[in-house]
Amino acid sequence: MQIRHEGLHRTRRPTYCSWGWPLRIVLAASQSQPQSFDTEVAERGVIPVTDSVALQVDNLRKYFQVGKRQTLKAVDDVSFTVNKGEVLGIVGESGCGKTTLGRTVARLYEPTSGKILFNGKDITTKPDAELLWFRKKLQMIFQDPYASLDPRMTVGEIIAEPMDIHNLASGSERHEKINYLLSIVGLNPEHANRFPHEFSGGQRQRIGIARALAVDPEFIIADEPISSLDVSIQAQIVNLLTRLQEERGLSFMFIAHDLSMVRHFSHRVAVMYLGKVVEIAPSGQIHASPLHPYTKALMSANPIPDPVVEGSRTRISLPGEVPSPINPPPGCRFAGRCPHAHGRCTEEDPVLKEVEKGHRVSCFLY
């Protein structure tokens, strides 16, 4: 895939409309036709990220009871922070705990233990009745565009529902905002009266994105939002999310398995393996110089569009299979597949420590 380089710095503060969106985007989307997008992914520029922490996760665990005696450790002792205006990519193989982590942070799952702080407020054990403000500030884009939309509601009703819950818009303003949201995700506003079954999977995912944006959130957890789309549409959606992130200073947890998309959208990347974060670093650094043996193998499996480079590099093949999260091995969970494993690796669980500025890794090699 070719990468288009684009300057991302702004020289003038944008003007906002009454519901908080940049006026220039609203005016561009005010026509009856959906907005068009570039089909190449824009290279991520150097975007200032504030030092103010939007999300802090400390020693988070989410276990599921399987039967009477077994416990599935989906997320096990995970810690990280996301600053305001920052995009943190979460990558890893299927079943490593990415989605469970996102849903637990969003409080769709009750944490087993640990702490979740959002804008400095502890929301770990708050009951649902006390989380209405949090639901407005943090929204989620779900992976499955079929199960996440109510088939009995029209598209307009689906997008308007969060606005109605939070009393954000009514009357003509509500109608205009629905049209605007449909336009910026590439759908025709005239389709607001249609039902989800009349749309393709990719179009349904765009509806889900519009719904997440309806309450003007500060933080979005995107759980593989592009996995069901073809390549050209994936680039459109990533560019759309990038533009919105820049204009509104949104924070993101961007969960995906497409490493190239994560690289170009994220400021930092966290790599998960069997319920744990094994490495976290700035996006460019982790792709250019991965440290953890698993991250190296993961990056080596990512195709490079240059045929000369692709043909000359060596891919790292890992033996065996990922162990079961119901019965994870003692010590380092990657030890059984690691070419550098030694005695300590099978006895002691390595901690995530900083080995370079901003680069943390969970491995006894460092």
Which residue would you say has higher pLDDT here, 106 or 34? 106
Q: What is the pLDDT of residues 117-166, one digit of tens each?
A: 999 999 999 999 899 999 999 999 998 888 899 999 999 999 999 999 99
Whether 28 shows a pLDDT value over 60: the answer reads: no
Q: Given 3.40.30.10, 3.30.9.10, 3.30.230.10, 3.40.50.300, which CATH number is that of 40-286?
A: 3.40.50.300
Write down the pLDDT at residue 77: 96
Give me the chain's average pLDDT, please.
Answer: 85
Better-predicted residue by pLDDT, 69 or 201: 69
Q: Which residue has the higher pLDDT, 289 or 26?
A: 289
- Of these ranges, 77-86, 233-242, 321-330, the one predicted with the greatest mean pLDDT is 77-86
Q: Is the pLDDT of residue 10 over 50?
A: no
Closest CA to 206 of 223, 190, 183: 183
Residue 12 confidence (pLDDT) above 60? no
Q: How far from the centroid of its chain's Cα atoms is residue 144's Cα?
A: 14
Percent of the chain clearing pLDDT 90 (strictly above): 61
Closest to 185 measured CA to CA, from 154, 200, 157, 207: 207
Domain range summary for the chain, segments of one domain joined by +: 40-286
Dihedral angle over CA of 179, 181, 186, 188, nearest 10: -20
Q: For residues 131 and 345, give the distance between their C-alpha atoms in angstroms, rounded to a whole number.
A: 41
- Rounded to a whole number of angstroms, the distance between the first and last alpha carbons of the chain is 34
